[in-house]
Amino acid sequence: MKVAEGMLLDKLPPVRGRLQEKANLAIKSRWGVGGPAEVLFVPEDLDDLVFFLSNIDDDLPITVLGFMSNVLIRSGGIDGVVIILSNWFRKAFVEDGIFEVGAIVGCSELSTMAMNHELGGLEFLMGLPGSIGGAIKMNAGCYGSEISDVLLELEGVSRSGKIRWLKNSDLDFRYRNSGISNDLIITRAWFRGIRHADYSVHKKIHEINKKREEAQPIHKKTCGSTFKNPEGIAAWELIHKAGCRGMRIGGASVSDKHCNFIINDNNATADDIENLALKVANKVHETFGVVLEWEVVRLGKKRSSDNNG
């Protein structure tokens, strides 16, 4: 639904949370780029979210964002309403080895929580920079483990404002993807930890942190792996062998440390980042005949004339 500027806010239901026009999304982006949200909605709590979704037009575009650790917002911004969950959805509890966590709990936060309770199985989450909700949606993983290996159940709210509960077996998990509808907003999830693990949880997390520090440009403006690994080979290896390491467009460059990471190291725009990734993908295809599939989710409209990204 395309609404004239300044009119969309007037069409939205009264909420207890925050509604903001022309909200700056770049400040929330791990890349530090991207155009604005036409309207940003930050719900006060679950009831506020349900009320909002139950009282909006069916054709109103809705986009849900978390930590934006795997998202590129294009320079033209996002039409409609962008929803970012409030800290009410950051609650976390553990009982009898079961973790109940809100959707915007960070993956590393849950890993640390498991470590502090001496529960195993969730160490790999320390290697994921995003939130639990986003990680579930894309079945994020690293170091041989995925969210689908440890998730028991989730709670979500449908586009029509209905609360739903779905078990792991309902979610059609696959490599870096799931069958979770784009119309479902994940709000809470449950995970099982391993009691009396036959290894040191602290030591394993330390090893993961060390590996990340050594192999990834984690202190740079980046959204992690740009492309999924094709079957049987690492994307970074194809990018390296195609001669793309260090390649640059504008303020964006292919990381020398891990060439499946694109870095904003000189005031890059969203266009710089996307165009560089496309150039890398084309080079890999020309060299090896392999089509790289995006792992980063691209959202919004392109606007090449936007010099602010």
User: Are 68 and 30 in contact, with CB atoms under 8 Å apart?
Assistant: yes
Report the run of H or E that residue 205 belongs to, with start and end. helix 201-215
Exactly one of 123, 146, 274, 295 is catalytic; name it: 295
Closest by alpha carbon to 295, among 129, 166, 64?
Answer: 129
Residue partners of 57: CB distance under 8 A and separation at least 6? 1, 11
Closest by alpha carbon to 190, among 85, 92, 268, 77?
Answer: 92
User: Are 222 and 295 in contact, with CB atoms under 8 Å apart?
Assistant: no
Pair of tokens at residue 32: 């530090």
User: Are 167 and 153 in contact, with CB atoms under 8 Å apart?
Assistant: yes
- The Cα 104–Cα 69 span in angstroms is 12
Pair of tokens at residue 80: 């409609």
Exactly one of 159, 176, 245, 303 is catalytic; name it: 176
Closest by alpha carbon to 136, among 115, 155, 120, 117?
Answer: 155
Exactly one of 225, 253, 255, 274 is catalytic; name it: 225
Closest by alpha carbon to 56, among 14, 115, 107?
Answer: 14
Residue partners of 246: CB distance under 8 A and separation at least 6? 253, 254, 256, 259
Active site residue 225: yes
Q: How many CB atoms lie within 10 A of CB 305?
A: 8
- The Cα 79–Cα 93 span in angstroms is 36
As annotated, the active-site residues are 176, 225, 295
